[in-house]
Amino acid sequence: IATKYLKDYQATSYLVDTIDLKFEIKDTFVIVTSKTKYQQNGASNSLELAGSAELKSVIIDGNELTDYKLADDKLSLNNLSANFTLEIVTHVDAFNNKSCMGLYASNGNLFTQCEPEGFRKITYYLDRPDVMAKFTTTIIGDKDLYPVLLSNGNKISEKTLANNQIEVIWEDPYKKPSYLFALVAGKFAFIDDTFTTKSGRKVKLEVYSEAESINQCQHCLESLKRAMEWDEKRFNLEYDLDVYMIVASGDFNMGAMENKGLNIFNTKYVLAETKTATDTDFINVEAVVGHEYFHNWTGNRVTCRDWFQLSLKEGLTVFRDQEFTADLHSRTVKRIQDVKNLRQMQFTEDASPLSHPVRPESYMEINNFYTMTVYEKGAEVVRMYQTILDKEGFNRGLALYFERHDGYAVTCEDFCKAMADANKIDLSQFMLWYSQSGTPHLAISDHYNEATKEYSITFKQSIPNNPTAKAMLIPVSIGLILDNGKNIIPDIKNHNTIVRDNEVILLLNEAENTFIFGGISEKPTPSILRGFSAPVIINYAYDEKQLYTLARHDNDSFNRWEALQSIYKTEINRIYHSESPDKFEINQNITKIISELLNDATIDPALKALSINLPAFAELSISYPNTDVKKLVGSIKRLKSAIANGLETQLLAVYKDNQTVSYDFNDAGKRALKNTLLGYLMQGNNTGKSIELVAAQYKNADNMTDKIGALSAINDIDSPVRHQLLDNFAQEYANYPLVMDKWFSLQSQSQLPDTIDNVANLLNHPSFDKENPNKLYSLVRAFTANPIYFNTDAGYNFIAEEIIRIDSFNPGVAGRIANGFSSIANYESKYQTLVKPQLQKIMAKENLSRDVYEIISKTLQ
C-alpha cells in the first residue's frame, strides 16, 4: 500500500473550467454522464483521472475512445489537445453501496458523500481539492420514488418527462473542488424560513428529513439562522447563494458535510427535541450546524490545495464553531469542555503510535486523518494566532486571507502569511505548530528575590515523544496571586511579552526562557496558562497551599477549574501509589473546598458540575507510563466514593435544590449539576436510597437529559432497577434510532462484569443495525473506551472480529474503530502481549482496506 507525501505535491497537467453532470436514477443502479471541459496547465499532454465506477464509455470532443488505459482505479489519457471536452458514462451501484462514500442509498433515498475522495466512486475526474470547476447537475428520476431532487447551487429548471419521470437542473455559480459536490434524491419532508443578509440578500433556508422526524428539525433551522447572524457580526462574513439546504441522513460516517449550498448531515446533528434529545445534543446540533455553515467561507470559498492541508479548513472552522458556542452560551464552560475533550482525545492520540502533526507529511489513506489532531489541536493553533494578535489583529489577518485567496485552493503557509502580513510581524517560528507532532511539555521553575523584590520564572520546553523537535513559539498567559488572594498585574521586564487589558502573555520561543517581574512584595503563586492559552502540558511543582489559593482566588475562571483538577489529580495519584488503597482516607481539604463551591450562589451550576467532575481515565493514563488500567480506574472511583460519603447530606440537598418543575432549556446547567450529583450519590455507601432517587428521577423526567442522567448514574450498579429502567427505555424509544444509540452506548460503557457478553448479544438486538455507522459507533466503538472490559482478551477479540466484519463494507467506520487500539501502547506490557495476535489477525484479512491497514500497521510498530 503506497504512502503519499506532502513534499511530492505537483499541480495537475490539466485544469477544469466546467463540469456538467447528469444522473439518471434507474431501479437498480444510476447512470452518470459527466461532460468536462479541460484546459492544459503546463507542458504535459497526458492526463490521469481517478475513478472506480463501472466505466461505460469515453468520448473526447465527440469521438468515442476505445484504446484508453484503465488500471488501479485510474483512467489514463494521452496525446491530448490543449483544450478538449471529455464525456464519460459510468454505472454506479448506489443501492448496494454500504460504505456511505460516493453515491449511496439510505432507507430508499440517495445521498452522496464526496469528501475526501468519494467523487471518484461516481465518475472519472481530477478528484483533488486544487481542481476547481463550475458544476451543473441534472437529475432524472421517478416522480413517486424521488419527488425531491437536490444538488449544489440554485435550481434553474424543473420539468416532468415521459414515464412519470422528473428532471431537475441545478447550477452552482461558484467554482469548487469535487469533494464539495452533493446530490440528494428521495422522499423527504422539509421546513423552511428565510434569512436576509446584512447587505440585503434574501436567502431561503430549508431543512429536509424523513417525514416522521420533520417535527424534530426546528432547532436545526433556528441554529442556522443564529450561525448566519453570528458570522456576519463576528467576522463580517455573509452567505452567497439564494438557498441554503440541510438534509438529514440516518446513514452517515461523519457528523456532517459542508457541500456548497447543500449540507448533508448525520441525523444525530439535525434532530433535537426535548423528549428525545439531551441538553448536550441541543448544543451539539447548534455547534455542528454552525461548523458546516462557517465552512462556506473557511473551506469552500477558500479551500485546501491538497489533503495534507486539511487543518487549514478544519482547525479554523472548529475554532470558529467553538467561538460561536462560547459567544451564545457560557464562554468558560465551553472552554473547559473543549480542553477536557482535547486532553482525553487529542493528547492521547499525540502520545500514541498514531501521533502526527497538525499538517501530516504523509498518509496512506486520507480518511484516517480526520483526527482530533487535525481538528482540535488545529483549532488550538488557530486560537493561538488570536491570543498573540488579539481579536482585532486576528480579524485583520482573516480579512487579508480572504482578500488574497477567495476562489483558490491554498496552504497553511498562506494562512500564516496573511496573519503575519496583516499585523506586520514575523510568524515563521509559529509554523512549527503545523509540522511537529507530539504535545509540548513545559518544565517550569521560579525564584523570588526578597532583596530586589523580583520574581523570575523559567520555562523549559520539550516534546518527550519527539526529541528532535525545535523550540516553538508558545503563548503563555500568566497572572500572579498573593497569599491574601489578590491577583496582581505584574510589571514585566522582558521583550517577549504582550500586556493587554488584564492579561500578560509570555511568548516562549527558545528551549529555555526566563521572565522577570519587578515590584513583587512577596513570593507569589503563578497562575500559568490562563484560559489554556496553548495546547501544552505544564509541570510546575505547586504545593497544596498554592493549589487552594488558585482554586479559590484566581481571577481566571478556567484556572480556578484547573487548580481543582490538579487537586484531584494529586489525590488520585496518592491512591494509585498507595500500598494499601483500601485504607485510603480522603484529604479533608478536598471535601471542604467542594462543599464551599456547592454553597457558592455566585457560581453557575454548569460550572459547578464541571468543577466537581474528576479527570477521566483517558486523560490521566498518559501521565502514568505503563498504566495499570484497573488500578487507575479503581483510584478514580475510590476518590469519587470518598467525596460522596464525605458530603452525602450536602450532595443530596444540592441535588434537590436543582430539581426543576417543568422543562426549560435555560435550566441545562441545573440539570448538569443535578445529574453529576446523582452520579456521585450512586457511588456512595447509601446505595439503596440512591437507587430510589434514580428511579424517581427517571419516572418523573419530562426531558431526555434527566432520563439519561438517571440511567448513567445506575449504569455500573448491579440492581434490578437498572434492568427495569433499561427495558422500559428500550420499549419507549424503539422507534427512535438516535435515542436507542444512547441506550446501546450506556451498556457498552458499563463497568458491570457481564458487559462484554451483553455488548456481543446486543449486536443482534432488533433495534440494532449491523451496517449503520451510528449504531456501530454507539455500541462497538464506544466499547473501546471502556477501560476495564475492552482491555481483556475477550474485549480485544470482540473488537478485532468486528473490525474484520465491518471492513468488508465500510472501511471508514472500520478505521475509526481500529483507532481504539492505539492507546494500549501506553499501558502495562501484558496488554500489548494480549492485543498483538488480534492485530495480526486483522492484518491477515484478505483485501484489508487501506484505512484499517494503515492504522493497525502503525499501531503494531
Catalytic residue numbers, as ranges: 292
Residue 316 interacts with ligand DPP (CB under 6 A): yes or no? no
For residue 203, the cross-strand partners are: 195
Q: Which is nearer to Zn ion, 317 or 715 (CB)?
A: 317
What span, in angstroms and rounded, lies between the C-alpha atoms of 418 and 424?
A: 10
**Which amino acid makes up residue 773?**
P
78-86, 249-257, 597-605, 606-614 -> range binding ligand DPP (CB under 6 A): 249-257
Q: Which is nearer to ligand DPP, 118 or 605 (CB)?
A: 118
Q: Please state, as a whole number, how many other Cβ atoms lie within 10 Å of the Cβ of residue 666.
A: 7
For residue 836, the minimal CB distance to ligand DPP (Å) is 33
Residue 206 interacts with ligand DPP (CB under 6 A): yes or no? no
For residue 299, the minimal CB distance to Zn ion (Å) is 7
Residue 231 interacts with ligand DPP (CB under 6 A): yes or no? no
What span, in angstroms and rounded, lies between the C-alpha atoms of 314 and 330?
A: 23
Can you tell me which of 20, 87, 115, 376 binds ligand DPP, judged by CB under 6 A? 115
For residue 116, the minimal CB distance to ligand DPP (Å) is 8
Closest CA to 625 of 825, 466, 467: 825
Of residues 48-77, those binding ligand DPP (CB under 6 A): none
The entry of ligand DPP, Zn ion, none near residue 254 (CB within 5 to 8 angstroms by kind) is ligand DPP
119-127, 251-259, 412-420, 499-507 -> range binding ligand DPP (CB under 6 A): 251-259
- Is the separation of the CB atoms in 337 and 363 below 8 Å? no
The entry of Zn ion, ligand DPP, none near residue 383 (CB within 5 to 8 angstroms by kind) is none
Of residues 402-461, those binding ligand DPP (CB under 6 A): none
What span, in angstroms and rounded, lies between the C-alpha atoms of 700 and 682?
A: 18
Of residues 483-502, those binding ligand DPP (CB under 6 A): none
Q: Which is nearer to ligand DPP, 113 or 565 (CB)?
A: 113
254-262, 356-364, 448-456, 519-527 -> range binding ligand DPP (CB under 6 A): 254-262
The entry of ligand DPP, Zn ion, none near residue 554 (CB within 5 to 8 angstroms by kind) is none
Give me the helix-helix angle, 378-405 and 412-423, nearest 10°. 80
Site track for ligand DPP across 795-834, x = CB under 6 A: ----------------------------------------
Total chain residues near ligand DPP (CB under 6 A): 9
Instruction: Please report, for residues 105, 169, 191, 220, 632, the alpha-carbon distance to residue 111 in angstroms, rounded to integers and kept in the order given.
Output: 6, 17, 19, 19, 45
- Is the separation of the CB atoms in 198 and 180 below 8 Å? no
3-state secondary structure 348-407: HHHCCCCCCCCCCCEECCHHHHCCHHHHHHHHHHHHHHHHHHHHHHHHHHHHHHHHHHCC
For residue 543, the minimal CB distance to Zn ion (Å) is 43
The entry of ligand DPP, Zn ion, none near residue 609 (CB within 5 to 8 angstroms by kind) is none
Q: Which is nearer to Zn ion, 149 or 289 (CB)?
A: 289
For residue 315, the minimal CB distance to Zn ion (Å) is 9
Residue 257 interacts with ligand DPP (CB under 6 A): yes or no? yes
The entry of Zn ion, ligand DPP, none near residue 619 (CB within 5 to 8 angstroms by kind) is none
Residue 314 interacts with ligand DPP (CB under 6 A): yes or no? yes
Which secondary-structure segment (H or E) carries 561? helix 557-576
What span, in angstroms and rounded, lies between the C-alpha atoms of 657 and 17?
A: 64
Pairing of strands 83-92, 30-40: antiparallel
Residue 291 interacts with ligand DPP (CB under 6 A): yes or no? yes
Residue 117 interacts with ligand DPP (CB under 6 A): yes or no? no
Closest CA to 14 of 125, 121, 119: 125
Of residues 489-528, those binding Zn ion (CB under 5 A): none
Closest CA to 35 of 110, 131, 103, 135: 135
Reduced to 3 states (helix: H, G, I; strand: E, B; else coil), residue 856 is: helix
For residue 247, the cross-strand partners are: 208, 264
Site track for Zn ion across 286-325, x = CB under 5 A: ----------------------------x--x--------
User: What single-letter DSSP state applies at residue 799?
Assistant: H
369 exposed, middle or buried (CB, 10 Å; 0-12, 13-18, 19+)?
buried
451 CB-near residues (< 8 Å, 6+ apart): none
The entry of Zn ion, ligand DPP, none near residue 115 (CB within 5 to 8 angstroms by kind) is ligand DPP
- Is the separation of the CB atoms in 593 and 602 below 8 Å? no
Of residues 170-189, those binding ligand DPP (CB under 6 A): none
288-296, 347-355, 442-450, 467-475 -> range binding ligand DPP (CB under 6 A): 288-296
Q: Which residues bind ligand DPP (CB under 6 A)?
A: 115, 254, 256-258, 291-292, 295, 314
